[in-house]
Amino acid sequence: MESITNIAAIQNLVYIGSSVLFILGIKMLGKEATAVKGNYLSALAMFSAVAITCLSLEIDYKVIVAGVLLGGLIGSAIAIKVKMTAIPEMVALFNGFGGLATFLIAWSQFNAPDNSLFQHALIMLTVYIGGITFSGSLVAYGKLSERIKLGKGSWITNVLISFFYLKPSSLSLRNI
Amino acid sequence: MEMYILLGFVLLLSIFLGLELIAKVPSTLHTPLMSGANAISGIALVGALMLSGDGQTQNLLAFGAILFASINVFGGYLVTNRMLSMFKKK
């Protein structure tokens, strides 16, 4: 049991615990009587996963603290202030932000020096999925809030956007 | 390569898990469930946290990723909670 004292082992155990809580959380969200509790459970799972990740990092916390504080503030402000009728488009917008985060993570991994071909393929797939999630969610936001209307030619834009995300050189800003 | 096979296995199991969890949900709860599941997808925040601290470009990307993932997490859970509190009043 020596390896249990190892931080990496503890981290992975916490991740397993979080996964269980996430699954129970979704399960409880599916029943009206337990839905609120399920949401709290899943938030607790998120908190423990993020906390244990922060504890096991050995780097400068400035970027993390600034990002989480600012993001938490913006997210909370939007969630609390938005009108009840505007909630569906806000969910679409949040989903888009999640996609944008995925996109940026994949971009960062793209800059790593020693990616194998398979890793590179996975990174490009992630860039594609993250990017499509972002632009698609923005369109969903626009349509739900009645800011934009799409004509019949919109599939052309979709195809062009796909090519943009699939083209590796769109991301080749390695040395800013 | 073994690691990728293992990860593929986890991916496959989680796809089935998702189907099983969502299949029997009453339609009134679809919207909060969608919002809650979206908040969970903010788990990308954990990946974003691991990126920081390796040069200026990387830190900029990490900051952006952490920022947007945090908006998704905080906003997602709070909005889900607001939606569910609306159900209670009935």
What is residue A113's three-state secondary structure?
coil
Tokens of A154: 């919109």
- The reply to whether A67 and A36 lie within a common domain is no
A chain contacts of residue B50, beta-carbon cutoff 8 Å: 53, 57
- The reply to whether A86 and A168 lie within a common domain is yes
Task: Report CA A69 to chain centroid distance, whole Å.
Answer: 16
- The reply to whether A108 and A28 lie within a common domain is no
Ranges of residues in chain A whose predicted pLDDT is under 70: 1-5, 60, 151-153, 167-176
What is residue B23's three-state secondary structure?
coil
- What is the domain range of residue B78? 25-89
Location of structure tokens 């993570």: A105
- The reply to whether A135 and A64 lie within a common domain is yes
pLDDT digits (tens, 9 = 90+) for A11-48: 899 999 999 999 999 999 988 888 899 999 999 999 99
Q: Is the pLDDT of residue B74 over 90?
A: yes
- The reply to whether A84 and A167 lie within a common domain is yes
Q: What is the pLDDT of residue A1?
A: 47
Residue B8 falls inside a structural domain: no
Under an 8 A CB cutoff, do B34 and A22 touch? no
- The reply to whether A67 and A53 lie within a common domain is no
The CA distance from A63 to B61, in Å, is: 10
The CA distance from A9 to B31, in Å, is: 37
- The reply to whether A97 and A107 lie within a common domain is yes
Q: Within the 129-168 window of chain A, which residues sit less than 8 Å (CB to CB) from chain B?
A: none
Q: What is the pLDDT of residue A172?
A: 55
- The reply to whether A51 and A84 lie within a common domain is no
Query: What ipTM, to 2 d.p.?
Result: 0.88
Among the partner residues B69, B75, B76, nearest to A101 by beta-carbon distance: B69
Residue B59 falls inside a structural domain: yes
- What is the domain range of residue A29? 1-58
The CA distance from B82 to A144, in Å, is: 19
pLDDT digits (tens, 9 = 90+) for B18-67: 898 888 888 888 888 889 999 998 899 988 888 876 678 888 888 999 99
- The reply to whether A79 and A111 lie within a common domain is yes
Residue B12 falls inside a structural domain: no
Taking a C-beta distance cutoff of 8 angstroms, is the pair B4, A118 a contact? Answer: yes
The CA distance from A41 to A66, in Å, is: 26
Q: What is the pLDDT of residue B58?
A: 83
The CA distance from A76 to A60, in Å, is: 25
The CA distance from B67 to A1, in Å, is: 38
Residue B68 falls inside a structural domain: yes
Other C-beta atoms closer than 10 Å to the C-beta of B41 total 19
**Short-list B73, B36, B10, CA closest to A50:** B73
- The reply to whether A67 and A131 lie within a common domain is yes
Under an 8 A CB cutoff, do B77 and A39 touch? yes
Tally of domains within chain A: 2
Whether the full predicted model's pTM is greater than 0.90, yes or no, is no
Residue B53 falls inside a structural domain: yes
The CA distance from B49 to A68, in Å, is: 10
B chain contacts of residue A104, beta-carbon cutoff 8 Å: 48, 61-62, 64-65, 68
B chain contacts of residue A78, beta-carbon cutoff 8 Å: 71, 75
- The reply to whether A123 and A144 lie within a common domain is yes
Tally of domains within chain B: 1
